[in-house]
Every structure is written in C-alpha cells, then in structure tokens.
Amino acid sequence: ECADRATYLHDMFLASDTTVALLSDVPNSGPQDAPIPFSEAISTQSQVAQLAPSGAPRMLLHNVIAPNFGDLNARLADMATQAATGHVAGFKVYTAWGPNGQGFSLEDPHLGLPVIQQAHDTGVKVFTAHKGLPLMRFDAAHNGPDDIVAVSRQFPDMNFVVFHGAWD
C-alpha cells in the first residue's frame, strides 16, 4: 500500500512542498516488464494535473528505453510512439545494464547513437543516462560519463543529464 498511486500522490504533492516532480523508472528491458509502464505514468501525470489549478504541469515523465534488449528497430518505433503522446519530457537509459550483464556505450553506432538520433528526431531534446552509481549486475565498463560527454558534442541542440553525477 505504501507504493500505490494514491499514496504517492498524497505524499509527493499534498503532504509536501513539492511543486514539480519527475516520474522515472528503474532499468527494464522494455514495455513488457517495466515496473511503471508508460501508459500508467501518463495516468499518474493526469491525476497530478487535477491537483493544480488549470491543470498546471506538476509532473514530468521519463521514458526509459533499453536499446540493448530485443530488436532495436522496435525500440526506436516505441520511442516515436511515446514521443507522439506529447508526454515525454526526456528519454532515459541505463547504459551499464543489459543482457548477461553487458551494457552499451552511447557512442556505439549500432545502439547508442541511433537512440539519441531518434530522441532528437522526435523532438525530445532531453536525454538522461544513469551513470556512476554502481547497482547490482551493472557493467562497470559502461557506467562512466565519457560517452555522454562525447555524444553531447555531436548533438549540441540537446540537453544531456547524468543521474548520480558519475558517482563511481
């Protein structure tokens, strides 16, 4: 009960001084196993909007993507579909998380760069990466910030955010 939507909305927006929140998600391999499916995040966002006068935006949404799971073209299509909803404030990746403990680089021309290009092409100009905080089964080789620094130079009109400030 402590993690249901009503409790979250109460604690985050009614019992605190929070003005704006960002609803994100944990690493997952796609829509089929996401703890917070994007459609549910949109529903939560809609309920938050009802708490504010005139539906003022009080909640932003991340869309977590994992290009290293399954068919990349399906992931890119999912990104376009989610962006078309108008609810994606930014895309988020966990580059150190992946199948068999293998992460990926944002500079990878087969995984990372196509995902950033797709975010750019859909008009979502905020791209977030979880970097540095070493969670269980994370690939240390892909948990540093070097790749995000490099790709930020290739996409100067985008905003790149590093969660956890490259802690490790």
pLDDT category at 1 given cuts 50, 70, 90 is: low
pTM of the model: 0.91
Question: Per-residue pLDDT tens for 25-50?
Answer: 888 888 788 888 999 999 999 988 88
96: CB partners within 8 A, 6+ apart: 103, 130, 131, 134, 135, 138, 139, 140, 141, 142, 143
